[in-house]
A and B are shown apart, each in its own frame.
Chain A
Amino acid sequence: MNRLRFYLQLGFTLWVCLFMIVPVIMSVMAGLTTNYFVGLESGLTLRWVQEVWALYADTIWLSIRLALACLCFTVLLGVPAAYGLLRSKRRWANAMEEALLLPVAIPGLATALALLLAYGHMRGFRESWLFILIGHVLFTLPFMIRPVLAVMRGARLAELEEAAASLGAGFRQRFLGVVVPNCVGGILAGALMVVTLSIGEFNITWMLHTPLNKTLPVGLADSYASMRLEIGSAYTLLFLAMTLPLLVVIQWAGRVANRSRTP
């Protein structure tokens, strides 16, 4: 019985590897070989990576800038919003929570189209990266609110706040000194999602981008469509090199925050 389970698990793991890890490795290798169609015999090279960097460095910077700005906005909007939802005893609080998921449920293309219809005529705004930022914030906000709200619900926040108030703390002091520090775990979990989603976001961004404002995934699509396969693959390689460390850092911060909190 145990043996059977072991083999089933092993099989499943291998199967997952086959579809998740192998393609990534193939892609990375393709970005490093001199000629993909000839194969590894043609030798390894960094030429493609350099070429991508020369062509698309600005898309990478834009993506990072967008992700970080998006993170700032979702924290600044999401934490107070989650707190509001927590506190509100009204019936519409539940409805609000559901409504927050709408941008996830609606196809990104539709969200982008709506944004274009509403604000596309404002030239300066339309052409700046802030326009894309708004799309990203819309899309990622629920991923910040949900984990923060969950942590708030589990943390006996009301009692902590009452204790702080009895000790003389006004609303601002309570919010910054008690509420926020006690939902750091949720904020970090949300941050991980927000940054990941913002960096990889394609649908909305593709609709909203201008030739001067291309993000990494949009550039990637571009290069796949118009360049050698090796260049596209080298691009993937850079993408991974940018995002993996970022995600590892956020994960690690989450683990540290949790360790200092729970027994």
Chain B
Amino acid sequence: MTSTSLTLEGCGRTFPGGQVALHPLDLTVAAGETLVLLGPSGCGKTTTLRIISGLESPDAGGRVRFGERDVTALPIEKRDVGMVFQHYALFPNMNVADNITYGLRIKGLSRDTIRQRLDEVMAMVDLQGFGARRIHELSGGQKQRVALARAIAVRPKILLFDEPLAALDAKLRDRLRLEIGQLLRKLGITAVYVTHDQAEAMALGDRIAVMQAGRIAQLATPREIYHRPTSIFVADFIGAVNRLEVHATLADGLLRVSGGELRAPHLAGAAAVYCRPEDIQIAADGNADVRGKVRQSLFLGQSQRLLVDLGDNACLQVETASRRRWRTEDPIGLRLPPEALFHPERHAYPTKELEANHA
């Protein structure tokens, strides 16, 4: 399948009544790339997707391009996009096969081509033998596979997903997420995927655009977003993050914080440091950077999360292996390695050497 790149130029959207759902936004998705739009409810993900699909037009001045072609004025039916919706949107008056071939019949393809295409996509989404089923006889997961098959059967230029797994239970969501990922790789199709689930975003996105109140807060690879967030909002929205106040910068790149001192040459002069709970290690007395008391422990199965009180109202969340039992008030020593410390708004991250050390 030949894929197309996608460009949005200055695409904003103001709804009648003055509600600004999207501030003018520039965005490029490379051919064959999967871009995930991630963000809290109401941040403008769906609006962006609908502008790409043609269901919504951008405010004056906005341009939508598929490859070199300006499609801003084209209605959705002329844009060649495949859409997968949260609530499936399958046609209840047709069976599975008729749903999947709907777009092909609209295109007026020959009976043989349709037959062949149907077999092909049914195999891709693992639905062989389901052709004659009615829609209401399918489970949620099967419905979403049919929707996916229907969208790819017409060989669209771009695939658009709006929270396709949000209505499914956790186990099924994991499985379908994997399958969608494999399918997207295999087809090599340009895709935009909307979700508010960060695990889904990490697993599927070549790049992720984290959105906040109608703007893109950060657009980068999943690794970059997770380890080098450029704003506190992003750091906080993706995974959990600790913030520790810095009381003073000492010599030798040492920072004085509640409960001890941290070595972080790249953060000299910062008012605070940030680190992820899973990057903190529990350390014997000699090796500990900071010391405190366990205030709470939360058993999660594959790990446990400790809330450690460092005094002066400073607390750290620590994620650690789940075997050892911790009780409230147990004294604990923690090591916060320099490569785990960063400050989003100062764009201060550990240098490559530091990160290499850690590995």
B74-125 residues at the A interface, CB under 8 angstroms: 75-83, 85, 87, 89-93, 102-103, 106-107
- With A156-B87, A261-B93 in contact, do A167 and B103 touch (Cβ < 8 Å)? yes
Which of the listed residues B83, B89, B147, B160 has the most CB atoms from chain A within 10 Å of its own CB? Answer: B89
Q: Which residues of B contact A262 (CB under 8 A)?
A: 136
Q: Which residues of A contact B199 (CB under 8 A)?
A: none
Q: Which residues of A contact B102 (CB under 8 A)?
A: 164, 167, 169, 177
Query: Once bound together, how far apart are the Cα atoms of A156 and B55, in whole Å?
Result: 16
A139-187 residues at the B interface, CB under 8 angstroms: 155-156, 159-160, 162-170, 173, 177-178, 181-182, 184
Interface string of B138-161 (1 = CB under 8 A from A): 000000000100110010100010
Q: Which residues of B contact A163 (CB under 8 A)?
A: 83, 85, 89-91, 147, 150
* Given A162-B83, A163-B147, A181-B91, 15 extra CB contacts under 8 A: A162-B55, A162-B89, A163-B83, A163-B90, A164-B102, A166-B151, A167-B82, A168-B80, A169-B103, A181-B93, A184-B93, A260-B93, A262-B136, A263-B136, A263-B137
Which partner residue on chain A sits nearest B99 by CB separation? Answer: A163
8 nearest A-B residue pairs (beta carbon): A167-B103, A181-B93, A163-B89, A263-B136, A166-B83, A159-B89, A165-B76, A168-B106
* Interface size classification for chain A: 20 to 34
B106 touching A173 by the CB < 8 A rule? yes
B93 touching A182 by the CB < 8 A rule? yes
- With A159-B85, A262-B136, A263-B136 in contact, do A166 and B77 touch (Cβ < 8 Å)? yes
- What are 18 A-B contacts with C-beta separation under 8 Å? A155-B92, A159-B87, A160-B91, A163-B90, A166-B83, A166-B156, A167-B102, A168-B77, A168-B80, A168-B107, A168-B154, A169-B77, A178-B91, A182-B92, A260-B93, A260-B134, A261-B92, A263-B136
Query: Once bound together, how far apart are the Cα atoms of A101 and B348, in whole Å?
Result: 69
A166 touching B81 by the CB < 8 A rule? yes
With both chains docked as a complex, state the minimum distance between the C-beta of A74 and any C-beta of chain B, in angstroms.
22
Q: Decide yes or no whether B53 CB sits under 8 A from chain A.
A: yes
Which partner residue on chain A sits nearest B93 by CB separation? Answer: A181
Query: Once bound together, how far apart are the Cα atoms of A167 and B87, in whole Å?
Result: 17
Q: Which secondary structure dominates chain B's binding surface?
A: mixed
Interface string of B200-221 (1 = CB under 8 A from A): 0000000000000000000000
Interface string of A245-263 (1 = CB under 8 A from B): 0000000000000001111
B106 touching A165 by the CB < 8 A rule? no
Q: Which residues of A contact B75 (CB under 8 A)?
A: 165
Which partner residue on chain B sits nearest A169 by CB separation? Answer: B106
Query: Once bound together, how far apart are the Cα atoms of A39 and B293, in whole Å?
Result: 104
Q: Which residues of A contact B160 (CB under 8 A)?
A: 166
* Interface size classification for chain B: 20 to 34
Enumerate chain B interface residues (CB-CB to A < 8 A): 53, 55, 75-83, 85, 87, 89-93, 102-103, 106-107, 134, 136-137, 147, 150-151, 154, 156, 160
Query: Once bound together, how far apart are the Cα atoms of A200 and B53, in whole Å?
Result: 51
Q: Which residues of B contact A182 (CB under 8 A)?
A: 91-93
With both chains docked as a complex, state the minimum distance between the C-beta of B149 and any C-beta of chain A, in angstroms.
12
Which partner residue on chain B sits nearest A174 by CB separation? Answer: B77
Q: Which secondary structure dominates chain A's binding surface?
A: helix
Q: Which residues of B contact A170 (CB under 8 A)?
A: 77
B53 touching A166 by the CB < 8 A rule? yes
B77 touching A156 by the CB < 8 A rule? no
Which of the listed residues A160, A164, A166, A169 has the most CB atoms from chain B within 10 Å of its own CB? Answer: A166
Which partner residue on chain A sits nearest B101 by CB separation? Answer: A167
Query: Once bound together, how far apart are the Cα atoms of A164 and B105, in whole Å?
Result: 11
Query: Once bound together, how far apart are the Cα atoms of A42 and B35, in whole Å?
Result: 90
Query: Once bound together, how far apart are the Cα atoms of A155 and B91, in whole Å?
Result: 10
Q: Which residues of A contact B82 (CB under 8 A)?
A: 166-167
Q: Which residues of A contact B81 (CB under 8 A)?
A: 166
With both chains docked as a complex, state the minimum distance between the C-beta of B238 and any C-beta of chain A, in angstroms.
30
B89 touching A160 by the CB < 8 A rule? yes
B91 touching A164 by the CB < 8 A rule? yes
Q: Which residues of A contact B90 (CB under 8 A)?
A: 163
With both chains docked as a complex, state the minimum distance between the C-beta of A36 and any C-beta of chain B, in angstroms.
52
With both chains docked as a complex, state the minimum distance between the C-beta of B193 and any C-beta of chain A, in angstroms.
15
Q: Which residues of B contact A178 (CB under 8 A)?
A: 91, 93
Query: Once bound together, how far apart are the Cα atoms of A193 and B76, in whole Å?
Result: 38
Which partner residue on chain A sits nearest B94 by CB separation? Answer: A181
Query: Once bound together, how far apart are the Cα atoms of A116 and B320, in whole Å?
Result: 88
Which partner residue on chain B sits nearest A184 by CB separation? Answer: B93
A167 touching B154 by the CB < 8 A rule? yes
Q: Which residues of A contact B55 (CB under 8 A)?
A: 162, 165
Query: Once bound together, how far apart are the Cα atoms of A173 and B160, in whole Å?
Result: 22
Which of the listed residues B77, B137, B156 has the most CB atoms from chain A within 10 Å of its own CB? Answer: B77
Q: Which residues of A contact B92 (CB under 8 A)?
A: 155, 182, 261
Q: Which residues of B contact A156 (CB under 8 A)?
A: 87, 89
With both chains docked as a complex, state the minimum distance between the C-beta of B138 and any C-beta of chain A, in angstroms.
10
Q: Which residues of B contact A160 (CB under 8 A)?
A: 89, 91
Q: Which residues of B contact A165 (CB under 8 A)?
A: 55, 75-77
Q: Which residues of A contact B83 (CB under 8 A)?
A: 162-163, 166
With both chains docked as a complex, state the minimum distance between the C-beta of A257 and any C-beta of chain B, in angstroms.
9
Which partner residue on chain B sits nearest A182 by CB separation? Answer: B93
Q: Which residues of A contact B91 (CB under 8 A)?
A: 160, 163-164, 178, 181-182
